[in-house]
C-alpha cells in the first residue's frame, strides 16, 4: 500500500529538484512533485474541504500549496502572485 505524501517528502523533492535563483511556475512545481513521488489513491482524491466548495482539487496539490504558503510566510521563498511563480534560493531549505 502506498503512503500518502507528507510535507517532509514534498520539501525533500523541492530541495533536490527546483532551480535556485530562478522563477518557477506553480504548475512546474506540481509536476516535479507528481513525477518524483508515487502518489496514493488518497493523494489523488479530492481534498474534503475542496469538495465542500465544489472543487475537485486533489489532496496532494493542496498539500503542496500548503508547503509553499508556509515557506512564503516564513520568508523562505519569494512569491510572484501576478505570474503564479515562486523563487527559491540557497537559504530556502
Q: How many CB atoms lie within 10 A of CB 68?
A: 18
DSSP one-letter code for 82: G
Percent of the chain with pLDDT over 70: 99
| Residue 51 reports pLDDT greater than 80 | no
Predicted pLDDT of residue 52: 76
Q: Give CA–CA dist 49/54, Å, rounded.
A: 9
pLDDT band of 82, cuts 50, 70, 90: very high
Q: Which residue has the higher pLDDT, 87 or 54?
A: 87
**pLDDT of 14-35, one tens digit each?**
999 999 999 999 999 999 999 9
| Residue 54 reports pLDDT greater than 90 | no
What average pLDDT does the chain have? 94
pLDDT band of 36, cuts 50, 70, 90: very high
Amino acid at each position: 500500500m502506498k503512503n500518502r505524501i507528507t510535507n517532509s517528502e514534498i520539501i525533500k523533492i523541492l530541495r533536490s529538484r527546483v532551480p535556485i535563483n530562478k522563477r518557477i511556475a506553480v504548475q512546474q512545481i506540481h509536476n516535479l512533485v507528481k513525477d518524483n513521488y508515487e502518489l496514493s489513491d488518497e493523494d489523488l482524491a479530492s481534498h474534503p474541504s475542496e469538495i465542500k466548495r465544489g472543487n475537485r482539487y486533489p489532496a496532494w496539490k493542496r498539500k503542496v500549496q500548503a508547503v509553499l504558503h508556509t515557506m512564503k510566510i516564513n520568508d523562505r521563498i519569494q512569491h510572484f502572485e501576478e505570474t503564479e511563480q515562486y523563487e527559491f534560493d540557497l537559504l530556502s531549505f
